[in-house]
């Protein structure tokens, strides 16, 4: 199952690189994909090095898939940097440092059975890594976007290419949700079903809002809605029922659509889609798990303990990743500016 999980996550990564091309600087197709994979490599390498040092006893079935998840996280975290004019070196350094400072510690807290609890004694539930990947990476994009900066011309993709990317993304994501169990058992069909229902729910939630506000439906909006739904059920795919998975997807898709359309409309920066589809949708899914988790959530137990853990965990990850990203981006942008000015001045 470890190999299957790695392949599923790798398919998600490549599909995201295709689907998200419209948010990246216009460049030759091969060059853009290679840079996306290089950005992903910073997250993978960070986990392989630092993760093995901090968790020498980690079990093999978990270790390598989490490394590939780190690639997805670092790729998403660097989208806004690339779109803000960050050069190749700046982008890769940002991805590496963000992965070391944010992804690795968050993933350790999320996946490691050797760490008893988070700070403040909380223990949020996160089955598929939504906190270290979606919430943290979306918050990284938020930090960079809040800093402003230059805008570059973005790429375009054909409908056929986009459609193939969406199909690969959904397929890989759903397989990963099932593979995160690292066993084929009686829960696997439920996870697969919740993944499909959540994705459809996210699409419905997004399209309803977009239809009401803009009276239009596009492939981009379909893709964004599907991603929102998948992100929403990532944390709790084994713990949702089909009804709660659909509800989570719908709410996540609707909330992300309202936020994203407002920000894109005001700033004209497509990179806000990363914040909406990953940070907003991920936060909604993680928090709703505290309400709707079967036999654990507030609806079943009447206890607010799990909701508190989910909310606090989400806020800590989002705030920390945003702060780190703001600091990294401002520092690297300033350093790149100094180097560029010296390079221009040196011939004189």
Q: What are the tokens at 128?
A: 């598929």
Is residue 117 scored above 70 in pLDDT? Answer: no
pLDDT at 348: 46
- Residue 194 in this model has a pLDDT that exceeds 50: yes
User: What value does the mean pLDDT take over residues 267-274?
Assistant: 92
Task: Give how far Cα 107 sits from Cα of 70, 155, 233, Å.
Answer: 8, 32, 18
Which whole number is the average pLDDT over 257-277? 93
What is the residue-averaged pLDDT of the chain?
90
Q: What is the pLDDT of residues 242-255, one digit of tens each?
A: 999 999 999 999 99
How far, in Å, CA of 267 to CA of 57, rounded?
47
Q: Which of 117-121, 205-209, 265-269 has the highest mean pLDDT?
A: 205-209
Alpha-carbon gap, residue 125 to 115, rounded angstroms: 13
Q: What's the whole-number mean pLDDT along residues 328-335?
A: 94
Q: Is the pLDDT of residue 229 over 90?
A: yes
Closest CA to 80 of 340, 317, 322, 280: 322
The pLDDT tens digits for 213-222 are 877 788 889 9
For the whole model, what pTM was predicted?
Answer: 0.92
152 vs 110 pLDDT, higher one = 110
| The token pair that represents 227 in the structure block | 């991603």
Q: What is the pLDDT of residues 286-320, one digit of tens each?
A: 999 999 999 999 999 988 999 999 999 999 999 99
Inform me whether the pLDDT recorded for 57 exceeds 70: no
- Mean predicted confidence (pLDDT) in 115-122: 60
């Amino acid at each position: 199952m470890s190999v299957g999980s790695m392949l599923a996550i790798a398919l998600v990564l490549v599909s995201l690189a295709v689907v998200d091309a419209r948010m990246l600087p216009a460049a030759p197709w091969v060059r853009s994909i290679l840079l996306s994979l290089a950005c992903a490599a910073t997250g993978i390498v960070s986990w392989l090095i630092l993760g093995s040092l901090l968790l020498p006893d980690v079990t093999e079935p978990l270790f390598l898939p989490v490394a590939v998840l780190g690639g997805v996280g670092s790729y998403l975290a660097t989208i806004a940097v690339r779109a803000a004019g960050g050069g190749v070196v700046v982008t890769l350094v940002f991805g590496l440092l963000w992965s070391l400072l944010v992804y690795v510690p968050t993933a350790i807290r999320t996946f490691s059975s050797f760490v008893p609890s988070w700070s403040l004694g909380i223990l949020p539930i996160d089955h598929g890594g939504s906190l270290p990947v979606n919430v943290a990476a979306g918050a990284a994009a938020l930090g960079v976007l809040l800093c402003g900066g230059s805008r570059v011309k973005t790429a375009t993709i054909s409908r056929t290419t986009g459609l193939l990317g969406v199909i690969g993304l959904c397929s890989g994501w759903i397989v990963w949700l099932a593979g995160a169990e690292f066993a084929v058992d009686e829960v696997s069909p439920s996870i697969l079903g919740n993944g499909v229902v959540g994705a459809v729910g996210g699409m419905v939630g997004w399209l309803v809002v977009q239809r009401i506000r803009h009276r239009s439906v596009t492939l981009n909006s379909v893709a964004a809605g599907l991603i929102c739904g998948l992100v929403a059920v990532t944390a709790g795919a084994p713990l949702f029922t089909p009804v709660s998975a659909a509800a989570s997807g719908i709410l996540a898709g609707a909330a992300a659509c309202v936020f994203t359309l407002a920000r894109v409309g005001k700033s004209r920066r497509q990179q806000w889609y990363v914040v909406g589809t990953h940070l907003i949708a991920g936060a909604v899914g993680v928090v709703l798990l505290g309400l709707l988790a079967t036999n654990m959530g507030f609806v079943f137990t009447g206890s607010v303990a799990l909701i508190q853990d989910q909310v606090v965990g989400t806020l800590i990850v989002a705030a920390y990743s945003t702060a780190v990203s703001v600091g990294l981006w401002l520092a690297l942008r300033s350093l790149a500016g100094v180097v560029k000015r010296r390079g221009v001045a040196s011939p004189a």
